[in-house]
Structure 1
Amino acid sequence: MKLSTTLLDVTPLRSNAPFRRLWIGRTLSGLGGQMSLVAVMFQVWQETQSPVWSGAVGLAQALPLVALGLFAGAVVDRVDRRRFSLLMTAGQVVCSLLLALQGFLAPLPPAGLLVLVAVQSCFVAGNGPATRSFLPLLLPPHQLAAGLALSRIAFQGALLLGPALGGVVAGTLGVGACYAIDALTFTAALYAVFRLPRMEPGGAGARPGVRGVLDGLAFLARTPVIRGALLTDLAATLLAMPVSLFPLANAEHFGGDPSTLGLFLTAVAVGGVAASLLSGTFTRLPRPGVVMLVSSAVWGVSLALFGAASDPWAGLAFLALAGAADTVSVVARGTVVQSHTPTELLGRVAAAEQIVGQAGPDLGNLRAGLVADATSGATALVSGGLLCLGAVVAVGVTTPELRGPQRVRPRPAAAPGGSPAPPAAKEAPTPLE
């Protein structure tokens, strides 16, 4: 295999200026967002010294995403996605500026700070489905997997660097500086969206209100390939999410040394980055559904082996393998879902992905903690990994559409150079539907 077909495919960055601007903007804003999250956690902890209040930060972020996601997706499918994303991004900028002002001038009480975080998350709930729908409209079908892999490595880079930078800035310049940097990075995202072509909904657009949401849910229910992809994601996160067990594993394997706790997340991240850098090995394969199923099964097996490992360094190696499998699964799943979603439903399907991606890990961590409390950490990890493997096999057996070659849904591509693209025509359903 040639090296050029093994490494990360950067063709979308070289050949597509709107995608390149969007990728740079989202990379910078993701980095600023991670810095801002560290600042919020630090500020809440300083005021309360309470892990309950610290945990409430995640709740303030998650609830709007879950509560508003599907309705936001229906709105995205009724309007020009570019203009809607501009409005949502501008709302996030305003919230970051308000966070910076209170950080520099008059710190809010914890409850007020969480309210502001929740308001910003409302804009995130709207912007998520819009930005997720950009890639299949900007990139030709054969570059979609490569574009998703590039988005994944940008996310992982922000996750690795953002918290560390946020901690340094908050400790030296104060939390206000973190929020200000976050607002500044959002301007890159705002510019990138501003330069996008028009992205009108296909066909007649979504029906208003609850009817539009129900139409989206009905599409998910009747489309086996997308339903199977989302169920696979739920199986991996709900049944085998290990993060809540890392402190316990650290206590068992490293004597509870706080300096080693970060090794667990780092191992997962290292595996994910390695898979992204070598993503050419799987983004060019013609059966992304099979890639998704196999990598999700590897995720489950790796975590079961991590739970059973007696040597701590072997356990970290299994976590790195799990991180690599997670990245492969995320990219392949995105390729499957976006390739088989009609233009007029991109927002609602993206919203469903966003909700599954938010709720699945949170519930999975809760499940792991409850099982570990009733049994042991090893039992929770091994049982979760094996349950994930069984669920993935069941999805693969009952969803033959995922095992077949990819049928790419035709859609109008955005015009190069940022010029407006014509409204999409309503596509006929494929045999997969």
Structure 2
Amino acid sequence: SLLHDARFLRIWIAGAMVGTIRWLEVLAIGVYTYRETGSPFIVACMLFARMLPIMLLGAFAGAIADRLNRRYLMMAGLASMCLVSSFLAALALNGKLAIWQIAVGAALSGIFWSGEFPVRRTMLGEVAGLGRLSAAMGLDSATNDFTRMLGPLLGGALLSSVGLEGAYALGVLLYAVAFINMATLAFAETSSTDIAPVSVLRSIGDGLAYVRTNRLIAATLIITVFVNLFGFTFISMVPVIGEHRLGLGAVAVGVLMSAEGCGALLGSLAVAAWVRTRYFTVTYLSGSALYLVMILAFSMSPWYTAAILFLFIGGLGAGCFGAMQSTLIFFAATPRMRTRVMGVLVACIGAGPIGVLHVGLLAEWLGAHQAVTIIAVEGLIALAAAAIIWPELRRPPALPTDLL
């Protein structure tokens, strides 16, 4: 029924377009940068540039989205990124694209991402309502996971056949499609507060204060930090491991990276279809653990086929993690705090840049696959500690008292 709702469909399509661009660029830029520089650390820095704005601006994005029209914010961001991609495509086509310009483009994409995530996911939750919340977040996570599969395949194919300009040109097209969907969306804003508007800094402070009073949300956020710090950052090393250790070309590296997205897609669909409220937390925790275990196995594999299998299985866990992450936040927060807490969630996702620098430096010193082994072990230790400290992660979640 969600896909028969024109409002949900337009927001969902916009997210699919943006996600495809994001993962296409991660692969294409990673392979291109490694070929140009031969440095794992510089490759990691490209993902760092993309993720740093999320850490710095995530909480501000949620607070600002609480005060302004969300549809207009999405339209402004999409139009801006369409122009950025057009400029970078023109530079690449004329052979004048420099590494620093690619990094600036990645940083601008990260600024857009820091606002797009809390704004669009809050819009999806408002359109779906609590009764369809799990299905809505599961479907959106499944779509993001599909783009994690499709994007690297397209990125590898375009880089091999056209060059980096092809990746940026496709970005222009997809951003335009997303903009059209948001421009034609009939969306009535749902007020997130029943009190007078407050300053952005006060809004951020309120969100952080609320997190301290809700142990389930706090536990959800700390797991988010750990998975982004020690888990997702391994993606920056896939082009390096693929080219240097496994001897792959751009297309084969794209297939390798897409295996994780394929598994995540199936995991998210399973969550949307079968996971009920009482299993939200155990799905979230076990999915996170499975993801880190399979990253560890991938880092130790010298065989291409086995590496694909490990990333596919790990993707199943990532799909469970991704679908439950926003679901638990939206479920456990009161309506007037949801956008603000979503902003805090984005800031926690922003822990990723620290992890990217961590794995990049380790890779420069020890090698890419050894670096991924180390971060996976660190992540599993941190996850075990969180499960002990926050027993809420092992119990069925409960609604906020004012929604009972």
**What SS is found at the alignment partner of 1:133?**
helix
**What SS is found at the alignment partner of 2:351?**
helix
Shift of 1:249: 8.5
Counterpart of 1:235, as a letter, is F
Aligned to 1:137: 126
Distance 1:28 1:142 in 2: 26
Distance 2:33 2:356 in 1: 25
Distance 1:256 1:309 in 2: 9
Give the structure with the larger helix fraction. 2
Are 1:94 and 2:83 an aligned pair? yes
Distance change >3 Å, CA 364–CA 221, structure 1 → 2: farther
**What SS is found at the alignment partner of 2:71?**
helix
- TM-score, with structure 2 as normaliser: 0.81
Counterpart of 1:348, as a letter, is R
Written as runs of structure 1 = structure 2, the 5 A alignment for 1:208-287 is 208-239=199-230, 256-258=246-248, 265-287=257-279
Aligned to 2:288: 296
* Total equivalences in the alignment: 397
Distance 2:324 2:134 in 1: 7
Shift of 1:24: 1.9
Distance change >3 Å, CA 310–CA 393, structure 1 → 2: farther
Residue pair 1:238, 1:365 contacting (<8 A) in 2 also: no
Distance change >3 Å, CA 393–CA 310, structure 1 → 2: farther
Distance 1:296 1:288 in 2: 12
Distance change >3 Å, CA 270–CA 93, structure 1 → 2: closer
Residue from 125, 136, 149 that aligns with 2:138: 149
Distance change >3 Å, CA 393–CA 20, structure 1 → 2: same
Shift of 1:226: 0.8
Shift of 1:142: 2.4
Counterpart of 1:80, as a letter, is N
Distance 2:97 2:245 in 1: 38
Distance 1:332 1:54 in 2: 30
Residue pair 2:41, 2:360 contacting (<8 A) in 1 also: no
Residue from 337, 343, 347 that aligns with 1:351: 343
Shift of 1:76: 0.7
Distance change >3 Å, CA 249–CA 52, structure 1 → 2: closer
**What SS is found at the alignment partner of 1:226?**
helix
Written as runs of structure 1 = structure 2, the 5 A alignment for 1:4-403 is 11-14=1-4, 16-38=5-27, 40-41=29-30, 51-105=40-94, 107-194=96-183, 195-202=185-192, 203-204=194-195, 207-239=198-230, 256-258=246-248, 265-300=257-292, 317=309, 319-360=311-352, 363=355, 366=358, 370=362, 373=366, 380=374, 383-384=377-378, 386-397=380-391, 399=392, 403=395
Answer with 25-34 or 379-388: which moved more.
Answer: 379-388
**What SS is found at the alignment partner of 1:278?**
helix
Distance 1:380 1:167 in 2: 27
Distance 1:48 1:319 in 2: 26
Counterpart of 1:296, as a letter, is S
**Cα deviation digits, residues 308-356 of structure 1 (max 9, x gap):** 8999977765544332122112212221101223343333322222232
Distance 2:336 2:140 in 1: 23
Shift of 1:17: 1.3
- TM-score, with structure 1 as normaliser: 0.76
Distance 1:175 1:272 in 2: 26
Q: Unaligned stretches of 5+ in structure 1?
A: 1-10, 410-427
Q: Give identity over the alignment, percent.
A: 23
Residue pair 2:47, 2:353 contacting (<8 A) in 1 also: no
Residue pair 1:82, 1:193 contacting (<8 A) in 2 also: yes
Distance 1:306 1:51 in 2: 18
**Cα deviation digits, residues 141-183 of structure 1 (max 9, x gap):** 1221111222122222222222232333344344333322211
**What SS is found at the alignment partner of 1:204?**
coil
Distance 1:385 1:52 in 2: 20
Distance 1:282 1:234 in 2: 26
Shift of 1:281: 5.0
Counterpart of 2:324, as a letter, is A
CA RMSD, 1 decimal: 3.9
Aligned to 1:418: none
Distance 2:372 2:26 in 1: 31
Shift of 1:357: 2.3
Distance change >3 Å, CA 183–CA 219, structure 1 → 2: same
Distance change >3 Å, CA 381–CA 360, structure 1 → 2: closer
**Cα deviation digits, residues 45-91 of structure 1 (max 9, x gap):** 67656555443322221222222221122111112222222222222
Answer with 191-200 or 65-74: which moved more.
Answer: 191-200
Distance change >3 Å, CA 333–CA 35, structure 1 → 2: closer
Counterpart of 1:390, as a letter, is A
Distance 2:24 2:360 in 1: 28
Residue pair 1:45, 1:51 contacting (<8 A) in 2 also: yes
**Cα deviation digits, residues 4-56 of structure 1 (max 9, x gap):** xxxxxxx3113x11111221222133223433445545665676565554433
Residue pair 2:44, 2:357 contacting (<8 A) in 1 also: no
